[in-house]
A and B are shown apart, each in its own frame.
Chain A
Amino acid sequence: KQEVTQIPAALSVPEGENLVLNCSFTDSAIYNLQWFRQDPGKGLTSLLLIQSSQREQTSGRLNASLDKSSGRSTLYIAASQPGDSATYLCAVRGGVTNAGKSTFGDGTTLTVKP
């Protein structure tokens, strides 16, 4: 059974700081990994998708990496802003025992202080 863990559960940083969010998964036979942000009471907004054959993806101030063999992904946020405050979730899709299902971590709640 695929399990996804996100560390830390919560993070508070001053504005302008660079930060890294971590995601680990137990079954490395995944199809892809996707990072999302969720604002309170809202749906999920897709940030980055990394296919299993890729090592990283970048979008603006965001960079996500994937190391399938070690079962890890990181989301790097550069020059954080108060508007980045949200819960960040990673989701892995597929795997030997998961046949295309998506498994989510519990998320990291980020607070960026002005």
Chain B
Amino acid sequence: KAGVTQTPRYLIKTRGQQVTLSCSPISGHRSVSWYQQTPGQGLQFLFEYFSETQRNKGNFPGRFSGRQFSNSRSEMNVSTLELGDSALYLCASSLLSSGGHSYEQYFGPGTRLTVT
């Protein structure tokens, strides 16, 4: 089974621009979560999608948004980029139990975003 894939792997953008990152989950996984990892803040939860609906959201400004498509692929968008948005953006996919609880999360390799 193919793992979680993320594109692009590396990205350099300028302040004020916007960016879209893509994540393809493991086949059969319908839950996709996004995280931001920085040296200062560690790994922080951005949002989780299931069946094209946002189930949970972290404490990030509205400039951070996402969506999920019917094939479970997900995208996240950051508008009006700031220097502080430079980070490794990680996507994870998982199965869900009948009760809606997530099982093991599998992570992609991440997208390294640098904002100059």
Q: Does B56 contact A (CB under 8 A)?
A: yes
- Structural contact, B45 and A103, CB atoms closer than 8 A: yes
- Structural contact, B48 and A101, CB atoms closer than 8 A: yes
Q: Which residues of A contact B45 (CB under 8 A)?
A: 101-104
Q: Does B15 contact A (CB under 8 A)?
A: no
- Structural contact, B105 and A43, CB atoms closer than 8 A: no
> Majority SS of interface residues in chain B?
strand
Q: Which residues of B contact A106 (CB under 8 A)?
A: 42
Q: Does A100 contact B (CB under 8 A)?
A: yes
- Structural contact, B105 and A100, CB atoms closer than 8 A: no
Give the bracket for the number of chain A residues in contact with chain B. Answer: 20 to 34
Q: Does B1 contact A (CB under 8 A)?
A: no
Q: Considering only CB atoms and an 8 Å cut-off, how many residues of chain B contact the other chain?
A: 26
Cβ contacts A7-48/B at 8 Å (1 or 0 each)? 000000000000000000000000110101000011111100
29 chain-A/chain-B pairs, Cβ below 8 angstroms: A31-B101, A31-B102, A34-B105, A41-B88, A41-B112, A43-B109, A44-B92, A45-B107, A46-B104, A46-B105, A46-B106, A49-B103, A49-B104, A91-B105, A93-B101, A93-B105, A99-B56, A100-B55, A100-B100, A100-B102, A101-B48, A101-B56, A101-B58, A102-B105, A104-B35, A104-B44, A104-B45, A105-B42, A107-B42
